[in-house]
A and B are shown apart, each in its own frame.
Chain A
């Protein structure tokens, strides 16, 4: 047994392949047999992975979900930003450049609309919860955009570490909410064409949430959502600590 433990410990990434493979197989069977395919297997697998990530966090008390358990540490490599971005780029082979160009304007409008919407709503909720200073409100609003925009903004304008931690928490909740709600609401909002996916990616913005949500809805739409979502975090990091902070501090005197 000791030998096996060493092997598992040394080959984390390979263990992650096995783990994800078994999970995918099990959820596919469950989706077909028990649910008649009403919920896609990949959506079940992503949901179950989130639950396991929660349990991992409870048992290991770390910050990387299930990957904090030493046998599953390869999950943070396989699911890390390098492989994620690399695979998202690879999905572009199935995309059409013409379709992306045709919906470029819609993508741009949705980006600006999305950042304004999430920032404004985040600030309003922060205000209702008793925050009154422009720095904290701006950081909370930025955290409602993504969990990267929050700390980048907070760091730039000098927010306290509790507020920055709160903004990261808000961004992670958003990612999970987008992941779970996208396959549920896709039909209702009319998410069924490349142009629609681009508008959706621009408004939601969280690359991980958009990527996971579209993967569970319709994998052929992933590149179109990703192509706008990839600009969201950068644009958010640009305008939250500058333009939005100036507006807030002027409004609050």
Chain B
């Protein structure tokens, strides 16, 4: 179990490091795509570990546990968001936070139609 968890931790830290380096290289104070890099590392190392025949239920369990913990984490995150200040931030924040989102859903729909016209 701990081997899988350690593999996940290694990929996570490596990916975050890449994101931070990319941010510094671009001259901005933000992590650029750290999670994305970490996911790529995890997918690649999973392929490698599988090809070596080291992938087994125990290793997978360490990863699967966190995979499944994901929704509970999102619930905890929702409960610790600053909902009150969002509601009381005023009309402009409410409009600028919701109207573009509605429009964006429409854009996603159109974009997906363009890509998959057969559907």
Partners in one complex: yes
In the complex, the answer to whether B73 meets A79 with C-beta atoms within 8 Å is yes
In the complex, the answer to whether B101 meets A196 with C-beta atoms within 8 Å is no
Residues on A with C-beta less than 8 A from B95 are 125
Residues on A with C-beta less than 8 A from B116 are 190, 195
Interface SS, B side: helix
Residues on A with C-beta less than 8 A from B67 are 87, 90-91, 93-94
B81 shortest CB reach to chain A, Å:
5
CA distance A105 to B12 in the complex (A): 24
CA distance A63 to B67 in the complex (A): 28
In the complex, the answer to whether B111 meets A140 with C-beta atoms within 8 Å is no
How many of chain A's residues touch chain B, expressed as a range?
Answer: 35 or more
Residues on A with C-beta less than 8 A from B72 are 17, 20-21, 24, 78
CA distance A226 to B75 in the complex (A): 17
When A85-B34, A152-B29 are in contact, do A97 and B44 touch as well, CB less than 8 Å? yes
Residues on A with C-beta less than 8 A from B86 are 169, 172-173, 176
In the complex, the answer to whether B75 meets A49 with C-beta atoms within 8 Å is yes
When A88-B35, A121-B96 are in contact, do A49 and B103 touch as well, CB less than 8 Å? no
Is A31 in the interface zone, CB < 8 Å from B? Answer: no
B28 shortest CB reach to chain A, Å:
5
In the complex, the answer to whether A227 meets B36 with C-beta atoms within 8 Å is yes
In the complex, the answer to whether A78 meets B81 with C-beta atoms within 8 Å is no
Q: How many residues of B are in contact with the other chain, CB < 8 A?
A: 78
Indicate which residue in A170, A212, A234 contacts B31 across the interface (CB closer than 8 Å).
Answer: A234
Instruction: Please give the residue numbers on chain B whose beta carbons come within 8 Å of chain A beta carbons, in ascending order.
Output: 8-9, 11-12, 15-16, 19, 22-23, 26, 28-36, 38-40, 42-44, 46-47, 60, 63-64, 66-67, 69-87, 89-109, 111-113, 115-116, 119
* Cβ contacts A to B, 26 pairs, < 8 Å: A19-B76, A24-B71, A46-B78, A53-B84, A56-B80, A65-B84, A79-B76, A87-B69, A89-B15, A90-B42, A93-B46, A93-B60, A93-B67, A109-B111, A126-B92, A169-B97, A172-B83, A172-B97, A176-B83, A177-B97, A189-B105, A207-B35, A223-B39, A231-B32, A234-B30, A238-B28
Q: Which 5 A-B pairs have the closest CB atoms?
A: A173-B97, A169-B89, A57-B84, A234-B32, A79-B77
Apart from A230-B33, A237-B28, what 15 extra A-B contacts exist at CB < 8 Å? A46-B74, A50-B81, A83-B73, A87-B67, A89-B38, A92-B42, A117-B104, A140-B92, A140-B96, A143-B93, A196-B108, A226-B36, A233-B31, A237-B23, A237-B29
